[in-house]
């Protein structure tokens, strides 16, 4: 703790932060030390369930039983969604299934922390595509 406070003081001295910001940082460090000291040894903080811990589930069911189930953590989705759609659209066997999926709509749903079914496509020949966040 003392080394962290010393770093803050050094940053103030070097002009990297002003004295007001330095004071705020030191106060936060002191409060952190105080709350840690009061915590029981067997304390395990409860990690709240957050949107980022949810899963994006993609289900493709074709009339010919060429079914696909994909479960992706939301953490990973934003990184690979556009690339994956681009790749899938270039594979002849999957192109017909992904051509009508609006990737921008899915990304917008993730940004707005939407839950539940966000895509539901049913083709005339019995194929279905559904995308759910849960």
Residue 52 has pLDDT above 60, yes or no: yes
Concatenated DSSP letters of 41-96: TT--------GGG-EEEEEEE-TTS--EEEEEEHHHHHHHHHHHHHHHHHSHHHHH
In whole angstroms, give the CA distance from residue 26 to residue 11. Answer: 12
Average confidence score pLDDT of the chain:
77
Which helix H or strand E contains 41, and what residues bound it?
A: none
More confident residue, 34 or 105: 105
Q: At what angle do helices 2-13 and 19-38 cross, to 10 degrees?
A: 170
Q: What does the pLDDT average to over 37-48?
A: 51
More confident residue, 102 or 66: 66
What confidence tier does 47 reach under pLDDT thresholds 50, 70, 90? very low
Does the pLDDT at position 48 exceed 60? Answer: no
Q: Residues 18, 20, 23, 27: is their CA dihedral positive or negative?
A: negative
């Amino acid at each position: 703790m003392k080394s962290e406070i010393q770093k803050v003081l050094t940053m103030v001295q070097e002009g990297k932060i002003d004295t007001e910001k330095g004071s705020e940082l030191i106060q936060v460090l002191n409060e952190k030390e105080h709350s840690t000291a009061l915590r029981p040894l067997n304390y395990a903080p409860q990690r709240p369930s957050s949107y980022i811990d949810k899963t994006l589930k993609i289900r493709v069911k074709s009339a010919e039983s060429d079914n696909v189930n994909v479960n992706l953590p939301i953490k990973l989705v934003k990184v690979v969604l556009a690339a994956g759609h681009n790749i899938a659209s270039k594979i002849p066997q999957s192109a017909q299934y992904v051509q009508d999926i609006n990737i921008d709509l899915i990304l917008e749903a993730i940004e707005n922390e939407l839950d539940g079914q966000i895509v539901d496509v049913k083709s005339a020949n019995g194929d279905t595509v559904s995308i759910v966040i849960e």
